[in-house]
Amino acid sequence: MTKMRKFVSIMLLLACAMLSVPGANAVAPAPADTITLGGGCFWCLEAVFTELKGVTKVEAGYAGGHVVNPSYTAVSSGDTGHAEVVQISYDPQVVTLDTILHAYFTIHDPTTLNRQGADVGTQYRSIAFYRNEAQKAAIERAITAAKQDWSGTIVTEVVPFSVFYKAEDYHQEYFKLHGENPYCSLVIAPKVAKFRKKFHDYLK
């Protein structure tokens, strides 16, 4: 009887050990990289990149300024130094950073300083944040390539990433939830249509 109890105890200990091993029964997450980009209203960028195959998450937010945890109202004043940006998480085995940057320089005008269309202010500036030298090199390559598509001087800022502040919840998935909004139909929809036409082979 004592031997049986010892055997059961050993088996229980082994079972507990297996359960406590991190990831013993978990599926390994897909590898993901992140890039943070600004180019006008973040609703526009989010609407486009959400449709790109290989992109796993897109969040609208703020970056590049000096104010901690800024609000939309504060950023809109132009006094925080922040730009409206999107933070894009993607699977590099499905979509390359070069493709993401090609789309980025296609759907916004990188030649207009501190504005995109009727949206004017430093918060709407064209800005790309890099997390490492490989991302910096990719951004610089994309700028060189974009010069073939834009006649003006490209004014996109290329700066090291510091911190990203996620925007208020009502800014997330804005185009998806408020497509009937006049700004969505007049400004965002044409950008999405342009993206779908040029990048149809890369859509989800």
Residue 28, SS3 per DSSP? coil
Residue 25 confidence (pLDDT) above 90: no
- Give the closest residue to 62 by CA, choosing from 42, 77, 44: 42
pTM of the model: 0.84
pLDDT attached to residue 3: 46
For 130-175, the pLDDT digits (tens) are 999 999 999 999 999 999 999 999 999 999 999 999 999 999 999 9
Helix (H) or strand (E) holding 145: helix 133-146
Our measurement of the distance from residue 52's CA atom to the centroid of its chain's CA atoms, rounded to an integer in Å, reads: 11
Closest CA relative to residue 97, chosen from 154, 51, 166, 37:
37
Average confidence (pLDDT) over 34-53 = 97
Q: What is the CA radius of gyration of the chain?
A: 22
Q: Which residues contact 135 (CB under 8 A, 6 or more apart)?
A: 35, 97
* Tokens (6 digits) for 44: 């526009």
Q: Which domains, from first to last, does the chain contain?
A: 31-202 (3.30.1060.10)
Q: Where are the beta strands (DSSP E) in 40-151?
A: 55-63, 83-90, 115-116, 119-120, 126-130
Active site residue 44: no
Cβ neighbours for 31, distance < 8 A, ≥ 6 positions apart: 91, 92, 93
**Average pLDDT, stretch 17-23?**
40
